[in-house]
Amino acid sequence: MMIFGCHVSIRNGYTGAAKVAASLGAAAFQYFPKNPRSLSVKDFDRGDATSCMEFCQKHNLVSVAHTPYSTSLTPSEDKKELTIASLLNDLEIADSCGSIGVVVHFGSQISKNDPLASYHLMLEMLNSVLSQWDGQCLLLIENNAGTKGALGTTFEELVQIRNLADYPEKIGFCLDTCHMFASGLWNGENTEEFFSKGEELDYFDHLKIIHLNNSKYPTGSKKDRHANVFQNGLIKAKFLQEIATSPIVKDIPFVLETPDDEGISHEEEIMQLYQKWG
């Protein structure tokens, strides 16, 4: 059976988030471990986190965390230490909740004169964070849609950053279908080539979560605007189905980051996914 879920709020705590996901018919869920607009370090309720883990184990729920919006693997100099502390805090919270990883976006361009500067800073950040991390939770690097310098849009970049890091065993991947469509990595017509390239580079061996999102903008637009899977999107449902039902991503959880106020709720969308794709 496929694993479908959605992003949920932690307004009622981590266990509360898990219970909401279960009530929606989800088999997986994503959450922000703390205020999504802050890089502050949260003194979290460890008892609640443990209860979340136990609830998920009992109900076969997969969870994954997502870093706050302001998190960047290519931060300005004055935010480097704050970002490192925030990422370690996210990993600790997610690990306590029993989550498979913490999703973080690939870095963005920081220098027009030195195209490699961003990659060097990303590696510095990854090495600094992961040298201090010994938990089970992985840091999951997400592919970009192509905005802010068009970094992190190819399998080659994603795989090479992991390979060059000091602790590749602590790094996995998160694949966003809207981002890969917007960036042009995948356009719906090149699915066979897409999977072939990813397999050749061993990308899929380290893929842990897929963000299942349609796109409001055309392929190659480099615009990151999510749409619901079966409505209001420019990716044909049959193309998304080819991705979701491929044996190459069998057993990978699919998490919706789609609108829930544009004519369909997440509960209805999850039900549709199970009815149509299994």
Rounded Cα–Cα distance for residues 175 and 252 (Å): 10
Is this structure's pTM higher than 0.85?
yes
Per residue in 213-222, pLDDT (tens digit) is 999 999 999 9
- Contact predicate 191/242, CB 8 Å: yes
How far CA 164 is from CA of 87, 156, 264, in Å, comes to: 20, 12, 42
How far CA 242 is from CA of 194, 204, 235, in Å, comes to: 11, 16, 12
Q: Residues, the chain, total? A: 278
| Count of domains for the chain | 1
Domain containing residue 154 = 4-277
- What CATH number corresponds to the domain at position 138? 3.20.20.150
φ, ψ dihedrals at 242, nearest 5°: -60, -35
Which tokens in the block code for residue 226?
């999510």
Amino acid identity of residue 75, one-letter, is: P
Per residue in 154-203, pLDDT (tens digit) is 999 999 999 999 999 999 999 999 999 999 999 999 999 999 999 999 99
Rounded Cα–Cα distance for residues 206 and 22 (Å): 26
Beta bridge partners of 174: 142, 209
Rounded Cα–Cα distance for residues 104 and 224 (Å): 15
pLDDT of residue 213: 98
Of the candidates 139, 133, 129, 64, the one whose C-alpha atom is nearest the C-alpha of residue 104 is: 139
Rounded Cα–Cα distance for residues 64 and 72 (Å): 18
pLDDT of residue 149: 78
Low-confidence ranges of the chain (pLDDT < 70): none
